[in-house]
Amino acid sequence: MALAARTPVAGLVVVPLVAGLAGCNGGKKEAKPPKVKKKAVDVAAVLAEARAAGKAGDVETAHARYGEASKAKPDVAVTDEHVKFLLAHALPDKAVDVARTWYDANPADSRGALIFANALIGSGDLVTAIEVAGGLIDLDDKNAAGFEARGRAQVMAGKVDEGIEDLRKAVELDPKNAGFLTSLGSGLEQAKKPDEAALQLRAAIELDPENARALRLLGVVRRAQFEVQESVSWLMKATKADPTDAEAWFQLAVSQNDMGDNLEAETSVQKATALSPTVSRYWYVYGEMLRINKKTEEAMAAYRQALAATPPHPKAAGKLAKVLYESGKSAEAEVFLTELLQTDRNNADLYFNLGFAYAAQKKYKLAVDALEKYLTLASKDDGLRKTAEAEIKVLRKKLK
């Protein structure tokens, strides 16, 4: 009986002993550190920092602050501003990443889909852009912005007729939208329909007189209509409306050159290269203006920049060679061209200039061979064919 009575008592004794060991510290519970509340992010202040950094040219800080604001308080308006900022600063891949993040998290948001489509257009992913914009139209066949985005992407992808059809639909749905009219004018300019393009662009400018894109495009269209003086006027207005538009400065230089104002053209295209230093055609035309204005060393430097860009300008090498042999460096031009021809054997422009480099050194047979090779490779409407044919006649007389 005694043994039976102790069994439950012994079991009871073990429990507090174990509990005491677990508590350690004389049975007192260890105090936990107090929780620190995270300080709320002032989204308005962070956005102000992003905008200030952007204006100061600190793109990296601006990008980071926009991201911080979006993380603290996701907002499609902030995403839109962030994406437009990145596209304006030639960061299309980052723009796509930002837009895709919102699009994936908010698949039913039509504005987010439009932002994503525009980012894709900016990055050159036109196939996906057409699909995303098409999805907007499938959901709402009255979505004018969806038609505009898809039309713009199709024009850029070379589907000009389909693109113009979409752009006409966008204007039909929203006839007072200056941006849509501008896009339609751009598509018509691409389709070589300058008369109708001019009408649409003038309508856009009437609605929005400071529409820099429409002003620039109208300047290009008026040049195509052989109204070069008026072209210069519109393009000057475009550069005033947006002094940071490199393409406007470039097109102004082209029209000034057509007017014979080559010193002004040199100044204008130099601004284009300063604003967009990686665009090869800007450097090529800058080299052309410098060459015409007898600034040989500067011209050679500009042509070299056009060659260093990605992709390099196809005519920059030939023009660099031309400057070399015309300035008495024909042997250097020959070496330069023959080295290039080792990897670019079907470049007609290189053979044309090689012919003149040989001729300058009195290597008449080699010169004839090079110019005949040019004629074999060049297109039938190449503007240099007559020059090459005339030079061949002169050189053959010297061989007799």
| 355 occurs within a structural domain | yes
Number of domains comprising the chain:
2
Tell me: the pLDDT tens digits for 297-348?
Answer: 999 999 999 999 989 999 999 999 999 999 999 999 999 999 999 999 999 9
| 167 occurs within a structural domain | no
- Whether 217 has a pLDDT exceeding 50, the answer reads yes
Same domain flag for 289 and 353: no
| 356 occurs within a structural domain | yes
Same domain flag for 346 and 399: yes
| 256 occurs within a structural domain | yes
End-of-domain residue from the set 313, 346, 371: 313
| 113 occurs within a structural domain | no
| 344 occurs within a structural domain | yes
Q: How many residues in the chain? A: 400
| 166 occurs within a structural domain | no
Dist. CA 82–CA 118, nearest whole Å: 13
333 vs 11, higher pLDDT: 333
Tell me: the pLDDT tens digits for 82-124?
Answer: 999 999 888 999 999 999 999 999 989 999 999 999 999 999 9
Q: Give the burial class of 111: count Cβ atoms within 10 A of its Cβ; 0-12 exposed, 13-18 middle, 19 or more buried.
A: middle
The residue behind tokens 């060659």 is 307
**Residue 213, phi-psi category: left (phi > 0), alpha (psi -120 to 50), beta (remainder):** alpha
Domain carrying residue 247: 243-313
Mean pLDDT (whole number) for 132-161: 97
| 388 occurs within a structural domain | yes
The amino acid occupying position 162 is E
- If DSSP codes are grouped into helix, strand and coil, which group holds residue 191? coil
Same domain flag for 299 and 335: no
Same domain flag for 355 and 300: no
Provide the CATH number for the domain around residue 251: 1.25.40.10
Q: Would you state the pLDDT for residue 57?
A: 87
Q: Would you state the pLDDT for residue 28?
A: 56
What b/e readout covers 17-27, taking b as 16+ CB neighbours within 10 angstroms? eeeeeeeeeee
Same domain flag for 393 and 333: yes
